[in-house]
Amino acid sequence: MRVRSEKQAARGTSRQQVVRSKQREVRSGCTLSRISQLTSGFLLLASCLLPKATMAYEPGKFYYQKYFKPGEPREKVIALTFDDGPGPFTIPILELLKKHHIRATFFMEGSQIEGYPKIAKQVVDAGHEVGNHTYNHFDYHKVKNAAPERLIHELDQTEQSLERATGIHTKVVRMPHGYFNHTWLLPTLKEKGYALVHWSFGCDWMNKYQDQPGHWRVVETPEQKAEAYIHNAVPGGVFLFHDGGRHREKTLAAVTIVIETLEAKGYHFVAAEDLFKDSKP
């Protein structure tokens, strides 16, 4: 009888331990649930109190230079942008930008991303903005009745290449050869959620450019190219250079001179989205 009593007492003690354990789990669960509710409440309150992030671009809008509000100081800031990459010259350009603590914008071609996926990833990992420059750099100027279907296809191709190489998508476009069309281009980009970013000055791919009606300025050497950019520097401007393609030695040398000279004059360089985040086109 004594043995049975001890076994019964042991079973009773075991049941009591299970009950107490269950009670602790219930209390713990209630506490965690309450903490979760409080945390969610605080996060919701914080999201209401904190200022909302400003979208850099409005889909379907055309950007080429920062709009300064009346009375707003004209800050000496210029957006630095690079087209046609990625490519071998993207790497030294990234090193130059890192040296000067500059965040820039790279408008990439899908076909170039396919050829240099690791370099595309380097651009993203370095924190630079990336834009869509179509897949094959097709010249829409040469097509009399260019339609939006081809552009949509090329933009989608480039996004797929960009996602495979870097894991990101973009919502800003620069058209090849600066193409612009008043009938279908902006409505098509708006439908796809893209903004269009042009430039206020660029000449690194030229041997001369028309700086005023009837007058052409020679820009064959890196120094001549750099001088042209410096001459056309304005607060809120957008500079176009090229990191894609072969023989960009002159571009690399010119952009180095431009950065060093204009920084000494009080300018600083940013990505296009940083330039336009508070600007209305």
Which sequence positions are flagged as catalytic?
A: 83, 242
Rounded CA-CA distance 206/211 in Å is 13
Task: Give me Rg for the CA atoms of the chain.
Answer: 29
CA-based nearest residue to 266, from 81, 101, 75: 75
CA-based nearest residue to 236, from 199, 210, 263: 199
Run of H or E including 100: none
The single-letter DSSP state of residue 178 is G
Rounded CA-CA distance 268/143 in Å is 39
Rounded CA-CA distance 147/184 in Å is 8
Q: Which amino acid is at 182?
A: H
- State how beta strands 77-85 and 105-108 pair: parallel
* 3-class DSSP assignment, residue 77: strand
Tell me the two tokens of residue 183.
């009938």
Query: Quick one: how far is CA 230 from the chain centroid?
Result: 25
Find out whether 173 and 195 touch, Cβ atoms under 8 Å.
yes
Q: What are phi and psi of 201, to 5 degrees?
A: -160, 145
